[in-house]
Structure 1
């Protein structure tokens, strides 16, 4: 009978140990408070430009908020299959958190360590995953659940993450829970005010102006909150004060995408389409894959075209040239939107007026006989329409595109288009 030597047993013991660790992680990982357990995105729903937006935030936010964004960027990288890049982002988050006070650094690091554990687990590197689980347990061991804890810092971290992912209702609940224990916390106050703003944009809702003012007083460096307050003041008839705030926010954060978009919204309400378009185009410099933003620029150019036609200046030589240029820009930005997303029309949650985007697509296609390039865009648009099962619009568009159309018939059709 052959002797069983330690060398023969070691591989079997390693396999057994690996299986034991894996079974343990299967039970522990769902208990960790991190991006992998917060259910941030519906399957397949993450926007292609989300990474651009997060990178823009990292570039322009104050250092104390960057760790939160690096954690979110790590999760996005993981979802894209870039696990090594995800680990690099988590390393950046961990380095930023080390600058905080010791107790706060440990608590805020729980999310980063949880993310580390999940990424290593998904990579099959179970020993590294187990090591980060142990780091979490070391901090949480004094609580009933050794792998998670309830505290304002973690609620705030979850709130910001959910806010950036469009989960505004849950974000508001997180910030409110944190503020129960830390009522004057500037970070939580800003987060709550922003969540309330997004939840209460509809006209029938009460304007959260007091929450925005308090947030700005507690955190004067938050230019996005300042821009939101400017918009609220504008709706309340205090446009001059609102404009002062929006200009101040632009001066202090000239390249911050979300501030530029709110500035565009402010000046569109004010009737200044040239500035509106300028701000939107500037915003696209740092979020080049943002299909809804391209749609929005397309709509603003279309609106500028309608303004020109309504003044009667379109009949002059200079006016006709401007009309053609605006039509070219509308088509250009429509094409860019279609190129950057499988379904740009599915991103309506980022737009103030989704029907306007829909109308702009239809009016462009109804304007003249399509060129080969325009026909290709039309077919792409029809595919999107079918995707969203808008058959009634699709039939109407097919009728519009079936025959050559002259300018007068196009104008007649335009007059029938519902606003």
Structure 2
């Protein structure tokens, strides 16, 4: 194989000088596949680089083979991030076999956007449980995982003590149906126990939120910063009475900065508990809350009107696309009394002429409470937003 001077030059004059320990395969995507594969193989014996990164670049079989060789040999690799790289089941299985052969220092794995499926997830789950220090970062979003794969992974997380202290970032999003069955109880068990999670994304997994909040209120109140539960059902059964665990979680959370509940169809009582919990929370400030596309309608609008002024932890609120057409005047007046709001999204709720909304929206402007965003195809709404934009630019 010919020596590639440009790789050495980049490592000596860019990576080393800037103290960059992350080797980005995309920096060398212009090379032939076998040349890049050789560079990856060389990293197996390199002590400088601790991270391998690649995104949106399809990796050839040669490169994949050298990546698994790297995993079986490297004594310095701590992070492996291969997102949307065209990897399949075979790579995940071989990756698991490589971890089995070698005492790894790996702390972060990101295989999001690769179809590793249940077989790959199960193989990896059986090996990461043997990591002495557990994992700090795990992202398996969009990997075509079903209840079987997630159940196996969750069982490992809940049964191995090291993950309760090591794991801070967990992303299992966009694996539809993966949290439907009783296998999800292992994940709920992990979340309800003492853990170190600061980032949790379970969006679009069919996770039942009524059950999940019971676990979150027990084990995720003190360190969780980012929580995304969008596009999940509130319950898998007909809800008669909403558990107060929703209120308990939001009243006890200490460092939350983002909560995504878009398209979750929150029942009015769950929304009430959420806002009441935030109203009694003395720790939180600057919270971004996304309640868009929840079909809140009139009942939800009334709950917001009653409690939004008390929920001073909220800095950014998205209530767009909630069928508030008939409630917008009173809703806007109520939201305008919430002095903590700096950003407000109201789009796709307007079905009235701008004159009807002009006075309450001008009042909202005077209160300096918000800057509505979201664009409706309606020309009337566009004109109204233009008027608001001009007014808000002077604040």
Higher strand share: 2
TM bracket, shorter-chain basis: 0.3 to 0.5
Higher helix share: 1
| TM-score in terms of structure 1 length | 0.35
| TM-score in terms of structure 2 length | 0.37
Flag the structure with larger Rg: 1
Bigger RCO (CA 8 Å, 6+ sep): 1
